[in-house]
Amino acid sequence: MKIAMIAAVAENHAIGINNKMPWYLPGDLRYFKAVTMGKPIIMGRKTFDSLRKPLPGRTNIVITRDKNWHHEGVKVVHSLEDAISLAEDVAMINGNEEIMVIGGEQIYRQALDKADRLYLTKVFRSFDGDAFFPEINESDWGITAREDQVSEDEQALEFSYQVLDRKSA
Ligand SMILES: NC(=O)c1ccc[n+]([C@@H]2O[C@H](COP(=O)([O-])OP(=O)(O)OC[C@H]3O[C@@H](n4cnc5c(N)ncnc54)[C@H](OP(=O)(O)O)[C@@H]3O)[C@@H](O)[C@H]2O)c1
């Protein structure tokens, strides 16, 4: 079972500001939906707050330290280890080949060492942010797929869908 992380990351590593995405890229939202659909998704409580409701067609697993926190349609856990274990059980039942870690910063930082695959949408511009993707050691990862894009609106934002797989030791 693969542990995959998916994130859209600016040149300066920004991924969020004020608990929102720093940009509006509808193409990337469609890509995110296509990659995650049908799979268990793991997120921090703040990322869930930014979504406001569970994402349909996926088992939503939210990590929080608050033992009283709950939300309809969400499976609540209190550690990353429990989130991964639950996601693996769900994936096994569903026949998924990977579980998806969907953010945000705190969860990416804790999960990076465990990840086998990164789906990174690299946005080739810097943005103001208060949440950032962790530094990755480029030599640990090989690019399996890359698709360059330009947004179709007036911002003409250049970005690239990249799939990185951890090189075997
Ligand atoms: N660009 C992208 O692809 C992308 C994707 C996702 C999110 N984001 C952005 O990232 C930002 C949110 O990231 P964030 O780092 O602030 O928050 P986060 O990682 O989404 O959630 C943090 C929360 O998760 C819980 N948590 C973290 N580690 C835990 C642990 N070991 N055990 C139990 N609970 C734990 C805590 O919840 P409690 O406080 O409830 O205890 C903590 O406050 C937002 O701006 C969002 O828009 C961007």
Under DSSP, the state recorded for 33 is H
Q: Is the peptide bond before 104 cis (omega within 30 degrees of 0)?
A: yes
Segment 31-56 shows an average pLDDT of 98
CB 121 within 8 A of CB 9: yes
Tell me which residue range forms the domain holding 114.
Answer: 2-166
Number of structural domains the chain divides into: 1
User: 129: Cβ below 6 Å to ligand 1?
Assistant: no
Pocket perturbation via mutation, ligand 1, pick of 12, 13, 45, 84 by most ligand atoms within 8 A of CB:
45
For residue 33, pLDDT over 90 is answered with: yes
For residue 12, pLDDT over 90 is answered with: yes
What are 61-117's pLDDT values in tens digits? 999 999 999 999 999 999 999 999 999 999 999 999 999 999 999 999 999 999 999
Q: State the distance from the centre of ligand 1 to the C-alpha of 76, rounded, in angstroms.
A: 14
Q: Indicate the pLDDT class of residue 154, thresholds 50, 70 and 90.
A: confident
Q: Domain of 122: which CATH number?
A: 3.40.430.10
C-alpha angle 20-21-24 in degrees, rounded to nearest 5: 125
